[in-house]
Structure 1
Amino acid sequence: MEYENVRTGKLVLKGEKQKSKKRKHKKQEKNEGNSNLQDADAVSHGGWYETTKVSEITGTVAIEFGRHVYMKALDNGLFTLGIPHSEGEGPSPEEILTAIPVNETKVALKSGYGKYLGVDKKGVVVGRSDAVGALEQWEPIFQDGKLAILSNTNFFVSVTDEDDVVCQSKIAGPSEFVRIRSMVQQVEDPNKDTCEEEQGSLAQVEEKFVRKFQKFQDKKVRICEADRSSLKKAKEEGLLHETLLDRRSKMKADRYCK
């Protein structure tokens, strides 16, 4: 059976703690260091990035056991380990899967042969289903920097001494730890910690505040014409809201300013 090409496309991180926003400069340095490490790791795997949360497991992915060794689909619906790849080389076509989100914690996986991965009665991972049922749902579990994939039968994915891919262990240990790699680079959103009203240029930000707080009978928006240089400084010092309030107080018909 001829191997099909899989399509590139695009779930809540267990055990993840909300990081403090204090000491921003140190956090930025740490993030930059982690980013460099991730980029170097991706380059050594042909551009395939290691996923770190369920929401990243979508679209074109590959499951890595060990270093540069990926799970490989066979034309009989079974799975084995492919041969080790060289540094800088990505997975082969038969080692590529398509991940499809099922919900916030589970995904379905489709092989390049167009079949969904499931588990048979012997606990062997097979790709022979044309639709996603209970047995075709997988739960990637991230914890302490490690990843294990739990099947619907409550057994973790692992590999036998003969390189067969199975689900026969209820405990995740070194044999069950894997990496799921994706071709979709996760780009950090620079505005993720900024409220929508503060996004955009200073002129756009001020207009949003004016539209929110002012009310005019003629429905015309009136914005303070004074120089906005003070807004830039206020934003850097964390005083943007107070400064906008002062500017609005100079305008008539403001609902909240005298």
Structure 2
Amino acid sequence: MSTDKVRSTKLKFKGEKTKKKRRRDSDDEEGVSSSRRRKDQDDQDPETWVVPEDPVEIRGPTFIIHPSDPFPISVNFDSTRNRIILHSLEKDQAEEGAEPPNILERTPTDVSQVWVITRVSGSPTINLRTGTGDGKFLSCDKHGLVSADREARGPQEEWTPVIMPDGMIAFMNVYEKYLSVDEVAGGSLQLRGDSEEVGFGERFWVKIQSKYKREAHEEKKKKEGMSDVGKADEAGTNRIYQAWGAGRSIVSQSDKKELKRARKEGRLAEALLDRRAKLKSDRFC
């Protein structure tokens, strides 16, 4: 029997710590696997560049790549000329004589390749601000012209990230058109924002830093916890305000609409107390 070790094909990002695998008796323990995955994410270097899996994770410093042929390109901002540049990644991060890295292994090598994404809490839209210069916002007008020369944000500076099944992302503007890489006269490439559908030109790989992905998860957990506290436990409330004797909970179909209306108006407890008094009165009459 061969004793050669099998080499792992798992992708590793720059800065990611190597972890030793622990053998388990059962691989179908979903809860254990998910908790282990969360622990691995928590142990990651906060500066590690990772791929977002949910639109709410897209925030902070961001690296945007398009898988153009023959070489992928990154969306850059030239602060000297005050314009957007689509930069070829042909030579970036590739040692002389070596094959270039996989597109998902690439990380920014210059500050001009980094955009800073912000969002209003609870909003599905984001703003993309340049990481160099005075911090201009990426915008698109009604004709599909894309620029980054505005210092204030408005509707034309809002983008909605749409995650595709393969993990790539499309950016939809306020006019419900998509950001795309378009070839113009002379074979050069430029960004436009007037595509009706998502095709190859409208799909981008986006990478964010691990700490912002973790931050998004923590905010989501906090929000879910707050929503659970705010939910009305009707059965429990009935037992508190309506039950007596052996703890019987009495619910009348005729009062269902009234209770529903009271809950919408924020006076459910008061309505249940009134109902309890009425039921007791009817019982002892």
Question: If the TM-score is normalised by the length of the shorter chain, which range does it land in?
Answer: 0.5 to 0.7
The amino acid that maps onto 1:158 is S
Instruction: Report the TM-score when normalising by structure 2.
Output: 0.50
Q: 1:149 & 1:51 partners in 2: Cα distance?
A: 14
Alignment of 1:132-211 (within 5 A): 132-144=153-165, 145-161=167-183, 162-185=188-211, 186-187=213-214
RMSD: 3.6
| Offset, 1:141 | 0.9
| Offset, 1:98 | 0.8
Describe the superposition over 1:65-89 as per-residue Cα deviations: whole angstroms up to 9, x where unpaired.
Answer: 1286310112344323212133355
The amino acid that maps onto 1:54 is P
Distance 1:184-1:30 versus aligned 2 partners, 3 A rule? closer
Which residue of the partner structure matches residue 56 of structure 1?
57
Distance 1:24-1:131 versus aligned 2 partners, 3 A rule? farther
The amino acid that maps onto 2:180 is S
Describe the superposition over 1:153-210 as per-residue Cα deviations: whole angstroms up to 9, x where unpaired.
Answer: 2211111122211112110112111122112343476xx59979xxxxxxxxxxxxxx
Q: 2:225 & 2:146 partners in 1: Cα distance?
A: 45
Which residue of the partner structure matches residue 78 of structure 1?
83
SS of residue paired to 1:55: helix
Which residue of the partner structure matches residue 105 of structure 1?
124
Q: Does 1:95 align with 2:96?
A: no
Where does the alignment leave 5 or more consecutive residues of structure 2 unmatched? 1-26, 94-100, 227-285
Q: Is residue 78–residue 125 contact of structure 1 (8 Å, CA) maintained in 2? A: no
Q: Does 1:25 align with 2:29?
A: yes
Larger displacement relative to structure 2 (117-126 or 159-168): 117-126
| Offset, 1:125 | 1.6
SS of residue paired to 2:53: coil
Describe the superposition over 1:84-128 as per-residue Cα deviations: whole angstroms up to 9, x where unpaired.
Answer: 133355212111111110342101111122111101454122111
Describe the superposition over 1:14-45 as per-residue Cα deviations: whole angstroms up to 9, x where unpaired.
Answer: xxxxxxxxx97135437867998x99xx99xx
Instruction: Report the TM-score when normalising by structure 1.
Output: 0.54
Larger radius of gyration: 2
| Offset, 1:55 | 1.6
Q: 1:137 & 1:52 partners in 2: Cα distance?
A: 20
Distance 1:35-1:128 versus aligned 2 partners, 3 A rule? farther
Distance 1:89-1:140 versus aligned 2 partners, 3 A rule? closer
The amino acid that maps onto 1:71 is V
Q: 1:195 & 1:165 partners in 2: Cα distance?
A: 41
Q: Is residue 55–residue 104 contact of structure 1 (8 Å, CA) maintained in 2? A: no
Q: 1:195 & 1:167 partners in 2: Cα distance?
A: 38
Distance 1:174-1:131 versus aligned 2 partners, 3 A rule? same
| Offset, 1:63 | 1.2
Q: 1:106 & 1:138 partners in 2: Cα distance?
A: 5
Q: Is residue 77–residue 112 contact of structure 2 (8 Å, CA) maintained in 1? A: yes
Where does the alignment leave 5 or more consecutive residues of structure 1 unmatched? 1-22, 197-258
Distance 1:82-1:143 versus aligned 2 partners, 3 A rule? same
Describe the superposition over 1:212-248 as per-residue Cα deviations: whole angstroms up to 9, x where unpaired.
Answer: xxxxxxxxxxxxxxxxxxxxxxxxxxxxxxxxxxxxx
Q: 1:94 & 1:172 partners in 2: Cα distance?
A: 26
Which contiguous aligned blocks of 4+ residues in structure 1 show a shift greater than 2 angstroms? 26-36, 74-78, 85-89, 184-189, 192-196
Alignment of 1:122-141 (within 5 A): 122-141=143-162
| Offset, 1:47 | 3.1
Q: 1:151 & 1:26 partners in 2: Cα distance?
A: 38
Distance 1:138-1:30 versus aligned 2 partners, 3 A rule? same
Q: Which is helix-richer, 1 or 2?
A: 2
The amino acid that maps onto 2:179 is V
SS of residue paired to 1:70: strand
